[in-house]
Amino acid sequence: MSDLRPEAKVLTCSDGVVHGTRDDASGAALADLLESHGFDVVERRVTADGADNVASALTDMSDGFAGLIASTGGTGFAPRDQTPEGTRAVIEREAPGLAEAMRLCNPLGRLSRGVAGVRGDAIIVNTPGSTKGCVEQLEAIIDVLPHALRLLHDTDNSH
């Protein structure tokens, strides 16, 4: 993690984007939001829906990475919405306070099954696939993420 600009990666979980039938508007929106809040977005990736696909992508993206990974998509109730299951398969510790805060930003947030947690030196958060929903949910926690990353990397000893 850079001392000046924390790094971030964005993972879009969507069969439609993978197959070219849908634009990756939510991935672009997350990247723009992160950049506007001082994050250096170093990677954007797309994977098909499904727990195994998500787990594989998150494992690859988090190996050796010290920063934030924000996923978009696959947090709802549709049969292929398995991003939380894929995320749980790879995280080492959950961060339920982040996921709870994200759900509180909007009444529709209660429909998100997204989780948040830590794998190695990375914080992983799931956001919905809608552009409005993913931005609202990430905005709900973006102010605390730099501090959380410093704590994770043991570079903030002010407490």
Per-residue confidence (pLDDT) for residue 4, from 0 to 100 = 79
| Helix or strand run (H / E) with residue 89 | helix 83-90
% of the chain with per-residue pLDDT over 90: 91
Per-residue confidence (pLDDT) for residue 154, from 0 to 100 = 85
Say what the alpha-carbon torsion angle 34, 37, 40, 43 is, to the nearest 10 degrees: 0
Q: What is the pLDDT of residues 93-108, one digit of tens each?
A: 999 999 999 999 989 8
* Residues 68-81, mean pLDDT to the nearest whole number: 96
- Estimate the share of the chain in helix, then strand, then coil, as percent rounded to the nearest 5: 40, 20, 40
Q: Would the pTM count as exceeding 0.75? A: yes
Name residue 131's amino acid.
T
Computed over every residue of the chain, the mean pLDDT equals 95
Q: In the chain, what are the domains?
A: 7-148 (3.40.980.10)
Q: What is the pLDDT of residues 4-35, one digit of tens each?
A: 799 999 999 999 999 999 999 999 999 999 99
Q: To which residue do tokens 């002010």 refer?
A: 158
How many whole angstroms separate alpha carbon 104 and alpha carbon 102?
6
The pLDDT confidence band at residue 155, using thresholds 50, 70 and 90, is low
